[in-house]
Amino acid sequence: MKQYKNLVSINDKRNGSPNDTWGNWSFDVDTYRLTYWDHGTCIYPIELSDKDTNSKLLDLIFQVGKKPWAYRAMADLIDALNEIFDPQVFCCSRGENKKFDATELCGKHADKLMEHWTNEF
């Protein structure tokens, strides 16, 4: 497991387990893909590793917002992006445009999940 010791976020300090699902969204720890599912069918897969600017994250939010099923999915999408990227720390703190390492942030979240799952059993 790769360690991301230089990244510290508010999400690291809160109690509770890391999530891999938010409503109908799920995070794949191997591909860093966030997918929206409806009754077991993949509706909308998102490659998170290339969402490395706040403009790309905002574009994603507005793209999903235009989908007919968006009213069911938006709050959960925001929760997922908040937990995985911690945008107020790494992506757009103080309203500044930033480029960040999306793969590193996804990897950090995947590591937390793997550690949690390992400790569960």
Could you read off the pLDDT of 60-115 as tens digits, one per residue? Answer: 999 999 999 999 899 999 999 999 999 988 888 888 888 899 999 999 999 999 99
Instruction: Give the domain ranges of the chain.
Output: 10-120
What secondary structure does DSSP assign to 46-107, as a single string?
A: EEGGG--BHHHHHHHHHHHHTSTTHHHHHHHHHHHHHHHH-HHHHT-GGG---B--HHHHHH
Question: Does residue 2 surpass a pLDDT of 80?
Answer: no
pTM of the model: 0.82
Question: Does residue 27 surpass a pLDDT of 70?
Answer: yes
